[in-house]
């Protein structure tokens, strides 16, 4: 798509977990941390980071991301399985987005996880392409 950011890779890895309560509720995510360096227009670059999660049912299964282009258009990425999180009720997830921004400007992104039945809250971030 010529007018949209071409997002080539989306991956999420699990890096540890701690147990929590047994009551089922939507998963929750917090503490988004990622690299804020500008990205060159037309060049492939990785945007990576991490966030914490809590999922009382321990069945977090996928990461979802949408990207907002400088024009205001949004592009949803295919959901990505969360590797290694089965049975984990809390921990830190890392993500990596490989992007090739088609135009200069300010891009936004929004991410959330989905467990067996419900979606978490959404976290937002942004990056600039020059």
In this predicted model, what pLDDT tens digit does every residue of 3-34 receive, in sequence order? 444 444 444 444 444 444 445 689 999 999 99
| Residue 84: per-residue pLDDT | 82
Write the CB contacts of 4 (distance below 8 Å, at least 6 apart in sequence): 69, 73, 75, 102
Q: What is the mean pLDDT of residues 78-101?
A: 90
Q: What is the mean pLDDT of residues 109-130?
A: 94
Beta strands 80-83 and 6-17: pairing type? parallel
For residue 80, give the 3-state DSSP assignment: strand
Distance between CA 110 and CA 117 in Å, rounded?
20
| Residue 4: per-residue pLDDT | 44
Q: What is the pTM of this model?
A: 0.79
**How long a stretch of residues is the chain?**
130
Higher pLDDT, 55 or 22: 55
Domain boundaries, the chain: 6-129
Domain 6-129 matching CATH 2.60.40.10: the answer reads yes
Tokens of 54: 């809590």
Could you count the other beta carbons within 10 Å of the beta carbon of residue 14?
17
């Amino acid at each position: 798509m010529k007018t949209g950011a071409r997002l080539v890779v989306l991956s999420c890895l699990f890096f540890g977990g701690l147990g929590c309560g047994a009551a089922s509720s939507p998963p929750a995510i917090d503490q988004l941390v990622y690299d804020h360096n500008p990205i060159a227009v037309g060049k492939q670059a990785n945007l990576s980071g991490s966030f914490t999660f809590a999922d009382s049912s321990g069945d977090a299964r996928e990461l979802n991301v949408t990207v907002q282009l400088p024009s205001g258009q949004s592009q949803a990425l295919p959901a990505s399985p969360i590797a290694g999180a089965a049975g984990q009720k809390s921990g830190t997830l890392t993500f990596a987005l490989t992007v090739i921004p088609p135009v200069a400007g300010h891009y936004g992104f929004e991410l959330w996880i989905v467990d067996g039945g419900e979606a978490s809250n959404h976290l937002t971030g942004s990056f600039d392409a020059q």
